[in-house]
Amino acid sequence: MNRAKPAGADWLRQQEKSNLAILKLMVWISLTFGRTIGRLVLYGIAGYYVLFAPRARRFSRAYLHRALGRWAEWSDGFRHVFSFASTIHDRIYLLNDRFDLFDIEVIGAEALHASLERHPGALLIGAHLGSFEVLRALGRGRAGLKVAVLMYEENARKINATLAAINPAVSEDIVPLGRMDSMLQARDKLDQGYLIGILADRGLGNDATLDYEFLGELAPFPVGPFRMAAMLQRPVFFMAGLYLGGNRYQIHFEPLADFSTVPRAERDAAMRAAQQRYVERLSHYCRQAPYNWFNFFDFWQKK
């Protein structure tokens, strides 16, 4: 039986390598010379990280071995990093409303729209899988959906700095986690009809986790997102914005649970069932689009 335990959060000890000056230069190159020229620079960036980030390369290979069902070659590692770089690069255009550059397919939106017609607001539980930005951009630019995201304040600070470098006019709807009023802010957004996204594939600090079989081996997943969903009593959907190469993206929505209909006495069981379903769907999409999962750390916590 799975038991809650504190998350190791090893990923926190791996500092993200970012440089806003380089990012601003990349934004200028991409918007001045176009996406094709901008993408040429990505090959050098991806090659650099594959060559000079051995820990990330090792953990990428460990993941890809499971997702691909075979030994991961150097070329697989490069493709993994290049896919990550591509989704970051495409934010430049998505945040500047250049939707004409992309072929975006949406699958499963009918169930989401039906839920929103019954009552306002829903939670979108995603992962570091593909691009969440493609959903926010699509909602903002085409579908008229209001999308906010739940994240810890330090992550929000980094995101805001990055967004300011890409497009100073863009403001993100971010609900900070870890505050006394976080739940109230999230509830208010939901009451206003927002879709609220949260990533549920890695914990932070002392977050409680449960072990689930993921790609053939037990791995820890934080319970916090599902506990919050149960407390907010809203429908919950799995969401993934898969990068399919070139200019193609595919957004998936799948219902996980509807906590608005779950009696209080049954919430714990419903939370576990929803989290189990979440891990199963994450496993499915990691195998379907293996170069899309961007957790470059020891996810299975091998010592």
* pLDDT > 60? residue 86: yes
Mean pLDDT value of segment 255-272: 93
CB 228 within 8 A of CB 185: no
Q: Compute the distance between CA of residue 61 and CA of residue 140 in angstroms, rounded to an integer.
A: 36
* pLDDT > 90? residue 303: no
Closest CA to 293 of 157, 209, 199, 196: 199
Domain of residue 137 covers 103-292
Residue 179 lies in a domain: yes
CB 207 within 8 A of CB 222: yes
Residue 118 lies in a domain: yes
Residue 108 lies in a domain: yes
- Strand locations in the chain (E): 5-6, 103-107, 122-126, 147-152, 174-177, 195-199, 208-214, 217-222, 235-243, 248-258
Binned at pLDDT 50, 70 and 90, residue 243 comes out as very high
Q: Compute the distance between CA of residue 188 and CA of residue 185 in angstroms, rounded to an integer.
A: 5
DSSP codes, 124-149: EEE-SBB-SHHHHHHIIIII---EEE
Q: Compute the distance between CA of residue 203 and CA of residue 225 in angstroms, rounded to an integer.
A: 10
| Encoded tokens for 80 | 């993994």
Mean pLDDT value of segment 38-63: 91
Residue 298 lies in a domain: no
- Of all residues in the chain, what percent carry a pLDDT higher than 90? 51
The torsion angles phi and psi of 264, rounded to 5 degrees, stand at -55, -40
Mean pLDDT value of segment 216-239: 94
**Position 126: which residue type?**
G
Residues in the chain, total:
303
Rounded (10°) CA dihedral 197, 8, 210, 263: -50
Residue 20 lies in a domain: no
Residue 205 lies in a domain: yes
**Count of domains in the chain?**
1
* pLDDT > 90? residue 168: no
Residue 137 lies in a domain: yes
28 versus 217: which is more confidently predicted? 217
Other Cβ atoms closer than 10 A to 126: 24
DSSP codes, 146-208: -EEEEEEHHHHHHHHHHHHHH-TT----EEEESSTTHHHHHHHHHHTT-EEEEE-SS--TT-E
* Burial (0-12, 13-18, 19+ Cβ within 10 Å), 284: middle
Please give the mean pLDDT across all residues of the chain.
Answer: 85
**Position 240: which residue type?**
A
Mean pLDDT value of segment 59-88: 95
Residue 190 lies in a domain: yes
Beta bridge pairs of residue 210: 221
Other Cβ atoms closer than 10 A to 55: 11
**pTM of the entire predicted model:** 0.88
Query: In terms of C-beta distances under 8 Å and separation of at least 24 residues, what long-range contacts does 258-267 make, across chains too?
Result: 258/115, 258/234, 259/229, 259/230, 259/232, 259/233, 259/234, 259/235, 260/119, 260/233, 260/234, 260/235, 262/230, 262/233, 267/230
Binned at pLDDT 50, 70 and 90, residue 137 comes out as confident
Closest CA to 255 of 231, 232, 280, 238: 238
Q: Compute the distance between CA of residue 294 and CA of residue 60 in angstroms, rounded to an integer.
A: 8
